[in-house]
Structure 1
Amino acid sequence: MKKLFTILAAILISTAAFSQTKTGGVHIYNPEANAMADLKAATEKAAKANKHVLVQVGGNWCTWCIAFHNLVDTTAVLKQTINDNYEFVLVNWDKDHHNDEAMKFLGFPNRFGYPVFVVLDGKGKVLHIENSAYLETDEIGANGKKKVGHDVKKTISFLKGWTVAAVNPETYKAKAK
């Protein structure tokens, strides 16, 4: 009987701790946002500023999504690259908010997992969908295991590869001497 009480107490404590973590977590995504309105506004703004739109699809439940967001916030070169070249939009996806219309508009990027990145031009055309797994670090930690997180150099390379200038054929024409 004492053993059963101990097991039940452990389950109750762990359940309470889990539910507190869930409600007290980071909230970078707005589940109630109108994703299509946000995408339209960002596209219009991007067109006026000669930028593209960078969409990060994920949710507050996604530790990798939050880690990427934090990496951008704490890495000046990443933040600057995004600010200089993109209008940045977060599109929420969770078990209660699938944003089906936005997912269809974006080409169902969620097939690659989360976070997933979509680059749109100033007209709203999907130029590229990036599986964030390709941006993960290859660094090995002191414990001999692969570090968890995204690589700054890989991310900058991805971002620079999809700027307005990078996809403009005029950028690559030979200059007259």
Structure 2
Amino acid sequence: MKKIPKNIALLGFLLIGSLVSAQNTNEIPPVKKSDDKALIVKTDHQELEAKKKAAEEKAKLPKPYDPKANAENDIEKLISKAKKENKNIMIQAGGNWCIWCLRFNQYVQTTPELKKLVDDNYLYYHLNYSPENKNEKVFGKYGNPGDEFGYPVFIVLDGNGKMIHVQKSDVLEEGKGYSFEKVKEFFDTWTTKS
């Protein structure tokens, strides 16, 4: 066993003594164990409620991602079609597990001005990323943007299949949804007409 130098031992006793003295004079409020437990229980309850609400919302939203799709083949077909139609390709990468991915899809599909803007100017594709199919080859081709930005992430291709922009989605969010102005500006910026 190591010997503790007398100065360090004395300093330790003085420190402990001053803390006990301070607590006895009410300078340091005592910790209430029951308050800590109540806070933990309340926080756990709030987290469970939030998860339950998110699961209920997710169950109601359409599931646009197909884990069984051959994404590489699908995108090649879109490139061929995009050339003919003079449109760009908007790839929304994510999965049916991602509440923000589903929210974005629902928002665009149910907002007439955004839906028209997309339909008139883009060929739209939902690129699946999930445990069943990570589409590693396709994501690798575009620099794996989900690794950096999370999901959803948007990959914009021109009519020749060249990647011209990657957009993270959090800058398009507002509250628990998306900002109409920000989403519209994003779509307007990457059309072939701009």
Q: TM-score, normalised by structure 2?
A: 0.67
Deviations 1:53-108 (A, max 9, x none): 00000000000000001001110011001011100001000123110111012221
Query: What is the Cα deviation at residue 37 of structure 1?
Result: 0.9
Give the superposed CA RMSD: 1.8
Say which SS state the counterpart of residue 176 (structure 2) adopts: coil
Q: Is 2:94 the counterpart of 1:61?
A: no
Offset at residue 44 of structure 1 (A)? 1.1
Question: In 1, Cα distance between the equivalents of 2:193 and 2:109?
Answer: 24
Tell me which structure has the larger Cα radius of gyration: 2
What residue is the counterpart of 1:85 in the other structure?
121
**Which aligned pairs between 1:37-48 and structure 2 lie closer than 5 A?**
37-48=73-84
Deviations 1:124-150 (A, max 9, x none): 10000000011011xxxxxxxxx2111
> What is the distance in 1 between the residues matched to 2:141 and 2:81?
18
Write the distance in 1 (CA, Å) between the matches of 2:184 and 2:63. Answer: 25
| Mapped pair 1:152 → 2:189 | no
Matched residue, 1:6: none
Name stretches of at least 5 consecutive residues in structure 2 with no aligned partner: 1-47
Correspondence 1:120 to 2:148: no
Task: Report the 3-state secondary structure (helix = DSSP H, G, I; strand = E; otherwise coil) of the residue aligned with 1:41.
Answer: helix
**Aligned residue identity for 1:42:** L
SS in 2 for 1:164: coil
Distance 1:118 1:154 in 2: 16
Q: Distance in 2 between matches of 1:30 and 1:134?
A: 26
Q: What is the percent sequence identity of the aligned residues?
A: 38
The answer to whether the aligner puts 1:163 opposite 2:191 as a matched pair is: yes
Q: How far is 1:27 from its partner?
A: 2.4
Structure 1 regions of 5+ residues with no counterpart? 1-13, 138-146, 167-177
Task: Give, in whole Å, the separation in 2 of the partners of 1:92 and 1:52.
Answer: 19
For residues 42 and 109 of structure 1, what CA distance do their matches in structure 2 show?
A: 20
How many residues align? The count is 138
Letter in 2 for 1:157: E
DSSP-derived class of the 1:87 partner: strand
CA distance in 2, matches of 1:82, 1:27: 18
1:132 corresponding residue in structure 2: 169
Q: Distance in 1 between matches of 2:160 and 2:173?
A: 30
